[in-house]
Amino acid sequence: YSNDQTIIYHNGEFLNPKTASSSLYSQSLHYGNGVFEGIRSYKTAEGTKIFRAEAHYERLKYGAKVMGIPFDYTVADLVALTYELLEKNNLQDAYIRPLITTGANMGLYTSKESFLTMQCWEWGKLMGDRLLRVKTSSFERPNPKSCFVEAKVTGHYVNSVLSTNEAKDAGYDEALLLDMHGYVAECSGANIFMEKDGKLYTPKKGSIMAGITRETILEICEEEGIPVEEKHFKLEELKQADSSFFTGTAAEVVGLKSLDDYEFPLSWTDSLGYKLMQLYQQEVLGQRKSKLANAL
């Protein structure tokens, strides 16, 4: 992720990560009380463009607010800082990781001290380009009443790590998690869509991360006249689907080969997911004339 030339933003300074320090008494380290984002920038015909930067930074600020972490950067400050960071690292196609950590406090009430770190590096599609072999996890997504599921809180990601470990250790590529009611929720780090008889379905919000890619795909579907519905559905229904795909900033759009022992019957290149994978690429590169195209 870094080398001798890498520059990060850390507590108001641009510096090499080797020279940066943070407290070993931070609540973020001990209790997972930190908030982060995952953002991508792309090399477009009009120069470097951070895809939906505003939406990502609104979500970061929402996370800090619900966790009681003081954070007074504006969205505009954060966007400007990110472009500056990309320039300092000479990066165009990049993955950007802003992280807010909390100060030294071994008590459980949120520390009133916070720090912003921002890192970026070149990163291929998180789950690769191959169709994925997915395993239903024995772990469920957290009860939405136990936390703020739509905030990207560092501690929530223990659930994602456990489910990914379980799937990979069993020889699969990724994990699919159900919610506390047994409905299909999402992957460890991406949202899910399924296709049945020419229509797409994706789980309703409530127990899932409200993915910005998911929202982008829903908007592209609306603009392209691709039928799509947000609804709760069970594993049995997913295992009768024609095709399925995951969406996320890091993963982008990636198709599923199989779920447990069920192989999705529709050829990936004939699926709506494949079409959306291409439309999403055009969208991030600013090549679609859509209402999203001019969004920050």
Return the active site residues.
152
Closest CB 193 distance from ligand PMP, rounded Å: 12
By beta-carbon proximity to ligand PMP, the closer residue of 179 and 242 is 179
Looking at 173, 186, 195, 242, which residue binds ligand PMP (CB under 6 A)? 186
Q: How far is CA 31 from the centre of its chain?
A: 22
Q: 46 exposed, middle or buried (CB, 10 Å; 0-12, 13-18, 19+)?
A: exposed
Residues 93-112 that bind ligand PMP (CB under 6 A): none
Residues 232-261: x where in contact with ligand PMP by CB under 6 A, - otherwise, as a string: ---------------xxx------------
Closest CB 156 distance from ligand PMP, rounded Å: 8
Closest CB 113 distance from ligand PMP, rounded Å: 26
Closest CB 190 distance from ligand PMP, rounded Å: 5
Looking at 111, 213, 271, 290, which residue binds ligand PMP (CB under 6 A)? 213
By beta-carbon proximity to ligand PMP, the closer residue of 7 and 246 is 246
Examine residue 191 and tell whether it contacts ligand PMP (CB under 6 A): yes
Stretch that binds ligand PMP, among 7-15, 90-98, 210-218, 225-233 (CB under 6 A): 210-218
By beta-carbon proximity to ligand PMP, the closer residue of 7 and 94 is 94
Looking at 85, 132, 209, 259, which residue binds ligand PMP (CB under 6 A)? 209
Residue numbers of the site for ligand PMP (CB under 6 A)?
A: 38, 152, 160, 186, 189-191, 209, 211-214, 247-249
